[in-house]
Amino acid sequence: MPLPVPVLPDGVDPAWLPEEAFRPVGGRRVLIRGSGPLVETVHGEVAEACARFGGALAEDDPELVLEATGDDGSEAFTLGRRDGRTTVTASGGRGLLYGFFHVVRLGEAAFQGERRAEEHRPASALRMLDHWDNVAVHPVMGQVERGYAGGSLFWADGRARGELERVRAYGRLLAACGINAVAVNNVNVHETEARLLTDRIGEVADIAAALRPYGIRTQLSVTFAAPIVLGGLETADPLDDSVRRWWAGATARVYEAIPDFGGYVVKADSEGQPGPFAYGRTHADGANMLAGALAPHGGTVHWRAFVYDHRQDWRDRTTDRARAAYDHFVPLDGRFAPNAVLQVKHGPMDFQVREPVSPLIGAMPHTALAVELQATQEYTGQQRHVCWLGPMWSEVLRFGPAAGRGFEELVAVSNVGDDPFWTGHPLAQANLYTFGRLAWRPDADPGAILDEWIGLTFGADGPAKELHAVLDGSWRTYEKYTAPLGVGFMVQPGHHYGPSVDGYEYSPWGTYHFADRDGVGVDRSSATGTGYAGQYATPWAETYESPGTCPDELLLFFHHVPYGHVLKSGRTVIQHIYDTHFEGVAEVEAAMAVWASLKGRVEPARHARVAERYEEQLRCAREWRDQVNSYFFRKSGVPDERGRTVY
């Protein structure tokens, strides 16, 4: 029985799956072989496409054969073409589903010439989106923490929204770019959200059922204090037998409701969340206790490494937040259970526009690691600015220690909400798509992924060149007009949007730039600073140790230097600050003009939404430029050598 394709609610953007994308498949004679639920999903997709574009499901002379030879869980597929017939084979429905969407992505090219059979399989087994969605509206963070795309797709005002057709459509979009897991609630687990684990698991089960036909397993963020908060126990000590029994029972009941449940995501001892430290236990003790509860059911615990002191004294220069994850977790390498995955933010701080790759990633060879990226643009323009993160993520994933040592999984904080464009800014859809594709193949060329997204979303005849130009450099543009040379933050406290150079300078959060009249930046060298640079393996420890070898873009992350320090680019630090801030704004103006020229060539609602967001981006970029430039002019007293206006 073919599973019907989800129907998009009125006014909701089809994103990278417009009907036209299915024309090449839908106009052909297609044979489907195999059985199982995901084969039925593929069957439904093909039937719908054929009904629309005049093709047919056919036994004889098929132009496309989609065959699942068995019913295993493998995600791999083989694609080939001979004698006018394109063939996708997989050993089960999952692989067939990914193979089908691969053909959709290729479009007409899948049906031309000959193609030697090529095997595709994902580099990482788990490609997960973490939704920081609250079930009940949080008084400060709202429905979605750091969400810039409206409310939650799953929850509204304390309960499940029940709009499961939209959730199905979401699952379909995710499958089409390769994502296979979704955590449905915020890692900051408040009281209402905590109950999803027990008496409200049925609401999660409904979401899981909607996502399942697209190969997506559901996960839940849980609070470490659940045995106390939900179970009425007096302790959540991970080594206490009653605590272990409680988790084993609660977990067994989760699996009764959701047999293919993926597992738990846990933020412990971080920014006020409870954790094992309260009982004098290690994070390995905490993670392993949950891993033990999940193991009999085939589940995994994702234990976040985002553990640091958020009540630091800004006067204390010996504490360095960047060191924290490594200091906490490296001594625990080899002590985590096989189904406990340490989920590590890609940088040592917090999703800034430029950070070095976390040294933890290369330093725990005996621990399963997931790298966490942030698709939601908390520090990169909050989906009001165009900031395509593909090149940044690609740099992270290709970085020596990460690439060499490997990480098992990729996770991104979701940028999706109930907005009709899914991501608030229509061009932010490119971030979601790129994440999925990079998670499948971390060494893929991000520019090619961008073009793929453009082709699907805007059609084969869309203004591909212009769209590529607008998006491709947008991350570097954003970097230019915001905090310079890797120093980070300088954002308005709390909501993190817009400039405030000293916004976090005298705060407890460990996020300082230390600008004075002579210079700026954080000395993280081993010789004279916090020693953070020494957390890297060779050659990076040496490269970062000295201002002479440290890459320009990270200079102020690793070193406190005088304003007159000459960069590898030949410019002084102060002149670099002025130049990049003027350039950044000019680049926004240029991109905005390109976008304006596309009026009439892209769908009107999409054009209008992006045009409106560009107005705000430009206003904000000018604000960043003028505040940052004026701040450093006033601190340093060094004028811009080109005499441009600073205030």
Residue numbers annotated as active site: 271, 350, 378
Q: Number of C-alpha atoms within 13 angstroms, CB side, residue 419?
A: 22
With binding defined as CB under 6 A, does residue 307 bind ligand GCV? no
267 or 328, CB closer to ligand GCV? 267
Q: How far apart are CA 316 and CA 510, in angstroms?
A: 10
What's the min distance (Å) between Cβ of 271 and ligand GCV? 6
With binding defined as CB under 6 A, does residue 130 bind ligand GCV? no
272 or 548, CB closer to ligand GCV? 272
Using a 10 angstrom Cβ sphere, with 0-12 exposed, 13-18 middle and 19 or more buried, the burial of residue 447 is: middle
Q: How far apart are CA 622 and CA 617, in angstroms?
A: 9
With binding defined as CB under 6 A, does residue 449 bind ligand GCV? no
Pair of tokens at residue 338: 């096989």
273 or 535, CB closer to ligand GCV? 273
DSSP letters spanning 46-107: HHHHHHHHS-EE-SSS-SEEEEE-S------EEEEEETTEEEEEESSHHHHHHHHHHHHHHG
What's the min distance (Å) between Cβ of 329 and ligand GCV? 15
- End-to-end, the C-alpha distance of the chain in Å comes to 68
What's the min distance (Å) between Cβ of 145 and ligand GCV? 5
CB atoms closer than 10 angstroms to residue 331: 11
Widest CA span of the chain, in angstroms?
A: 80
Q: Decide if 379 contacts 496 (C-beta within 8 A).
A: yes
CB atoms closer than 10 angstroms to residue 270: 18
Q: How far apart are CA 73 and CA 617, in angstroms?
A: 44
Q: Is 558 helix (H, G, I), strand (E, B) or coil?
A: helix
Q: Which of 16, 101, 132, 148 binds ligand GCV (CB under 6 A)?
A: 132
Q: Which of 585, 598, 587 is nearest to 646 (CA)?
A: 585
What residues between 332 and 351 interact with ligand GCV by CB under 6 A? 350
What's the min distance (Å) between Cβ of 98 and ligand GCV? 29
Q: Decide if 132 contacts 91 (C-beta within 8 A).
A: no
249 or 493, CB closer to ligand GCV? 493
187 or 628, CB closer to ligand GCV? 187
557 or 632, CB closer to ligand GCV? 557
| Count of residues near ligand GCV by CB under 6 A | 10
With binding defined as CB under 6 A, does residue 466 bind ligand GCV? no
Q: Which amino acid is at 532?
A: Y
What residues between 46 and 85 interact with ligand GCV by CB under 6 A? none
Q: Decide if 197 contacts 246 (C-beta within 8 A).
A: no
Output the CA–CA distances (angstroms, integers) from residue 12 to 8, 267, 338, 436, 605, in the order listed: 6, 33, 41, 21, 11
Between β-strands 159-160 and 155-156, what pairing exists: parallel, antiparallel or unpaired?
Answer: antiparallel
C-alpha of 10 from chain center: 27
Window 240-269: contact mask with ligand GCV (x via CB under 6 A): ---------------------------x--
100 or 303, CB closer to ligand GCV? 303
Q: How far apart are CA 573 and CA 564, in angstroms?
A: 6
- Phi, psi angle pair for 185, to nearest 5°: -145, 160
Q: How far apart are CA 17 and CA 104, in angstroms?
A: 9
What's the min distance (Å) between Cβ of 541 and ligand GCV? 26
What's the min distance (Å) between Cβ of 181 and ligand GCV? 18
CA quadruple 9, 12, 14, 19: dihedral sign: positive
With binding defined as CB under 6 A, does residue 145 bind ligand GCV? yes
Q: Decide if 452 contacts 105 (C-beta within 8 A).
A: yes
131 or 576, CB closer to ligand GCV? 131
146 or 212, CB closer to ligand GCV? 146
What's the min distance (Å) between Cβ of 424 and ligand GCV? 17
Q: Decide if 401 contacts 540 (C-beta within 8 A).
A: yes
With binding defined as CB under 6 A, does residue 409 bind ligand GCV? no
23 or 146, CB closer to ligand GCV? 146
What's the min distance (Å) between Cβ of 130 and ligand GCV? 9
Q: How far apart are CA 71 and CA 69, in angstroms?
A: 7
Looking up tokens 């059979």, which residue turns up?
117
With binding defined as CB under 6 A, does residue 306 bind ligand GCV? yes
Q: Which of 187, 265, 289, 515 binds ligand GCV (CB under 6 A)?
A: 187
271 or 516, CB closer to ligand GCV? 271
Give the contacts of 237 (CB within 8 A, at least 6 positions apart): 243, 276, 279, 281
What's the min distance (Å) between Cβ of 344 and ligand GCV? 11
187 or 370, CB closer to ligand GCV? 187
Please calculate the CA angle 141-146-152 and round it to the nearest 5 degrees.
Answer: 80
Q: How far apart are CA 543 and CA 372, in angstroms?
A: 25
What's the min distance (Å) between Cβ of 103 and ligand GCV? 37
With binding defined as CB under 6 A, does residue 146 bind ligand GCV? yes
Q: Decide if 264 contacts 271 (C-beta within 8 A).
A: no
With binding defined as CB under 6 A, does residue 188 bind ligand GCV? yes
What's the min distance (Å) between Cβ of 529 and ligand GCV? 24
Window 380-399: contact mask with ligand GCV (x via CB under 6 A): --------------------
What's the min distance (Å) between Cβ of 187 and ligand GCV? 5
Q: How far apart are CA 202 and CA 215, in angstroms?
A: 20
Give the contacts of 260 (CB within 8 A, at least 6 positions apart): 208, 212, 217
- The residues binding ligand GCV (CB under 6 A) are 132, 145-146, 187-188, 267, 271, 306, 350, 378
